[in-house]
Structures are given as structure tokens and as C-alpha cells.
Amino acid sequence: MTLSKSDGSTDSLRAETRLVVSGRDTASQKGFVNPPIVRGSTVLYPTAGDLYAHRGEFQYGRHGTPSTRALQDALMALEGPHCAGVGLVPSGVSALSTALLSVLKAGDHLLVCDNVYRPTRQFCDGFLARYGVETTYFDPLIGSGIAALLRPETRVVMVEAPGSQSLEMPDVPAIAAAAHARGAIVIDDNTWATPLFRRALEQGVDISIQAATKYIGGHSDVMFGTIAANASAWPALTETIRLLGLCVGPDDVFLTLRGLRTLAVRLYHHQQAAMNMAQWLARRPEVTRILYPAWPDDPGHAIWKRDFTGAPGLFSIVLKPAPQQAVSALLDTLKLFGMGYSWGGFESLIIPFDCASYRTATKWTPGGPTLRLQIGLENVDDLKADLERGFAAFNAHQ
Ligand SMILES: *Cc1c(COP(=O)(O)O)cnc(C)c1O
């Protein structure tokens, strides 16, 4: 999918303004505020000459439409001036696999952070291994120590900052500097912060993906992935998307762009509510640790302060040691916190997790049961009352 910034450059504007004004071409929208939902495969050429020369803004539905162009323009404006293009794909997982496929070939070596999204590991250990790519996992806290793991054939270093369960925070600029010194490229999963709270491409990342299913879509009603690349990574990425035949439906594009318009107002609220909740949880006797880089006692706090401009509503907690039935009683008592996978919607969620079963480079020993919370847009005092009831049930089963 090719791109143009149809509204001209928005780089001088602040991020909140860019979220509102980018990807809108009022004249071509015949005055309407939003771009149309274009359903289309065939694009007609007015003359044989145009057909031979492939002349025209759009060529074929799979390669882009006014709908996809508008979303790409808005995402590019958010990613910032280092972004050469944004690919649109049907899910966050397909964003990760497509980014890796755009760079790797048989015989290559891949370094992957031990805290990455679990399906990424399954793609590396299953699919990529079958195609002759070898994966080594590394400690999320390795920093510039990554240099010792880089081999002549290491092509990619993959990071997630912070990991979406353990919330461990890798030092991406240090890892990227070591990787680039040895000719490897850096792929990062920036779903937690979104480009609003961290411009990954300005911190040494070459390809930054979003599970737009999460905060960008923002309403738990769409599956979507985006892949932003810098100028050196973009040509191979756009070619890979074309060769794999990846494209996205116009309704999903519409929902994603609609979500993107309110990203800032939602994330600022999630951040404030999550910090308020973390302060409350830190005083609870049932909670032994808060895993949230925005939290001052978190081991990743210094890196978060340096590299991020905010934190969303997703964090984890460690409970004091307790039998499984105490944790289940807590979860079964909650009414406002839903139990389910994914996050980034308007609603609060809670899920137990255990990284220990699939880690390979490091051991995960939190010292008690772990829960991940997404603090949604409900009133935070109502959410506290819900958890208060849950903790009472937890204590009754101790
Ligand atoms: C959910 C998630 C993905 C995958 O996104 P889907 O749209 O569900 O495929 C990738 N990375 C992270 C960090 C996620 O939380």
C-alpha cells in the first residue's frame, strides 16, 4: 500500500491535534468530516494509455483505497517524521509475523525478548524454525549486554517494551544501538504505550507494530494490526504485504480510524485511573507488588520516565501467597471487572497469568499469584468497591 500525506505535513502540530486533523481531505470527501467507507476491488482507467501506464491514484482494492489511505495518513502523523509508511493488516499477530517475514530468510538468526507476546514465540519456534530461522530468547533486562548474543548471522532483534503481562521494561535504545552496530534491525511491539506515549521509531526501532485491536480501536469491537517502518525497512515491508496478499476490510478500517480520533482522551483517562488504582492497591494487605512502569517503585520506572510520555491502563499485581481457590473466589466475586483476553477497550478487565510455563531465557518467580488488570473508563471508586468485595472473598478462602 503506498502513501501520501493528503493534508500536507502535520509534524509541527502536537500529537492530540494530529490525531484529530490527519487523514482528512475535506475536498475529496465532498465536505463531510470523515472519509467514506470505500468498498472496492476494481478501479477503472479512463483511457488505454492510463491503463498501460498504471496511471491513477489507486490501482486495485488490495493495494489501497481512499479509506485505507486516510487511516495510513493518520497513523503516519502519529508515528512521527521517522515513519516512512504504515502497513495495515488483519490483526496484531499478523502485524508481528508480517514484520518478521519482511526481514528474515533461511539461515538467519533471530533474538527475541523473553517477555514477548506468547503467540510471537509460537511463530518463531514453529513457523520460522520450519523455514530455517533460528531463534534465541534473551533476558528483557539485558540492555547493552545483548552485544554478547549477536552473531554474524543475527538479522533481527525483537522487543516488547514493556511485556504485556510481566510489564518488565527492556532498555530499547541500548538494545537498538548494539543491534545496529552489528547490522541487525530492531522490531518492536509498541501496543502497550501506542505511538502517543512512545515514539518507538525515534528510539532506534526500525519496525514498530501495534495490535490496533487494543487501544487504537479502543472499543473491543475490531481486530486490526498496523506496522510502521522507517525509510530503510519500508520497501521490504510493503513488498511483503503485497506478496502475501494482505488487505483489510473497509468496515474494520472505519472502526480503527474512528477509535484513533479519541485515543488521546481515552489514554489520558486510563492513565489517571490506573495510577489512582495502583495507589489504592499498594495499600492493600493482599497485594505484595505493583508491576507498572509508571509506578515509582517499579524496576522499569527510570527507563519509562526517560523513553515514554505516559502509561496506559494496563498493569499487573502480585498477591500474597494463597491457594488457587482464593484467587478464583476473588475473580468470581467481581462484577465490573470482566474476565477475558485482550485489553485496550473502554471496559475494565482482569485475568490471572503465569509466565513461568513458557519462559526460556529467564525464570519468572513473582512470589505469589499474579493478576493483570486493565483499568477502563468506569468511575474508579466503583472499580475499587468491586475489588474490595473480591478481596473479602479472597481472604475468606485463605
Ligand atoms: C493482543 C496483542 C497482540 C495481538 O493482537 P491481535 O489483534 O489479538 O492479533 C500482539 N501484541 C500484544 C502486546 C498484544 O497484547
Listing DSSP states for 45-104 in one string gives -SSHHHHHHT-SS--BGGG--HHHHHHHHHHHHHH-TT--EEEEESSHHHHHHHHHHTT-
Q: Residues 97, 242: one domain? A: yes
Q: Residues 221, 92: one domain? A: yes
Q: Residues 216, 352: one domain? A: no
Q: Which of 212, 228, 261 is the last residue of a domain?
A: 261
Would residue 8 count as lying in a domain?
Answer: no
Give the pLDDT of residue 11. 74
Active-site residue numbers?
62, 117, 189, 214
CA distance 338 to 371: 13
Which atom of ligand 1 is closest in space to residue 191's alpha carbon? 13
Would residue 382 count as lying in a domain?
Answer: yes
Cell of 273: 485511573
Give the pLDDT of residue 234. 98
Please choose, from the candidates 75, 67, 374, 17, the residue with its C-alpha nearest in 3D space to the C-alpha of residue 208. 75
196 Cα to the center of ligand 1, angstroms: 17
Positions in the chain whose pLDDT score sits under 70: 1-9
| Number of domains, the chain | 2
CATH number at residue 224: 3.40.640.10
167 lines ligand 1 (CB under 6 A): no
Q: Residues 68, 88: one domain? A: yes
Would residue 6 count as lying in a domain?
Answer: no
176 lines ligand 1 (CB under 6 A): no
Give the pLDDT of residue 383. 98
Which atom of ligand 1 is closest in space to residue 163's alpha carbon? 13
Cell of 259: 477509535
Give the domain range for residue 43: 13-261
Would residue 7 count as lying in a domain?
Answer: no
Give the pLDDT of residue 17. 96
211 lines ligand 1 (CB under 6 A): yes
Q: Which of 215, 239, 261 is the last residue of a domain?
A: 261
Q: Residues 257, 268: one domain? A: no
Q: Residues 271, 235: one domain? A: no
Q: Which of 242, 261, 280 is the last residue of a domain?
A: 261
Which atom of ligand 1 is closest in space to residue 224's alpha carbon? 7
189 lines ligand 1 (CB under 6 A): yes
252 lines ligand 1 (CB under 6 A): no
Give the pLDDT of residue 2. 32
Residue type, 275: M
Q: Residues 243, 358: one domain? A: no
Pocket test for ligand 1, best of 164, 168, 221, 252 (most atoms within 8 A of CB): 164
92 Cα to the center of ligand 1, angstroms: 5
164 lines ligand 1 (CB under 6 A): yes
Classify residue 384 as exposed, middle or buried by CB count within 10 Å of its CB (0-12, 13-18, 19+): middle
Q: In this structure, what is the dihedral angle of CA atoms 163, 159, 109, 353, given to the nearest 10 degrees?
A: 10
Give the pLDDT of residue 398. 80
Would residue 180 count as lying in a domain?
Answer: yes
Q: How many helices (H) and strands (E) does the chain have?
A: 14, 11
Would residue 33 count as lying in a domain?
Answer: yes
CATH number at residue 295: 3.90.1150.10
Q: Residues 249, 284: one domain? A: no
Q: Residues 102, 214: one domain? A: yes
Would residue 225 count as lying in a domain?
Answer: yes
Give the pLDDT of residue 4. 36
Q: Residues 323, 352: one domain? A: yes
191 lines ligand 1 (CB under 6 A): yes
Q: Residues 64, 170: one domain? A: yes
String of DSSP letters for 151-196: -TTEEEEEEESS-TTT-----HHHHHHHHHHTT-EEEEE-TTTHHH
93 Cα to the center of ligand 1, angstroms: 6
Q: Residues 142, 119: one domain? A: yes
Angle CA(263)–CA(265)–CA(269) in degrees, nearest 5?
Answer: 110
Give the pLDDT of residue 6. 44
Task: Report yes or no: 329 and 397 within 8 Å, Cβ to Cβ.
Answer: yes
Would residue 84 count as lying in a domain?
Answer: yes
The residue whose C-alpha atom lies closest to atom 2 belonging to ligand 1 is 211
CA distance 173 to 12: 24
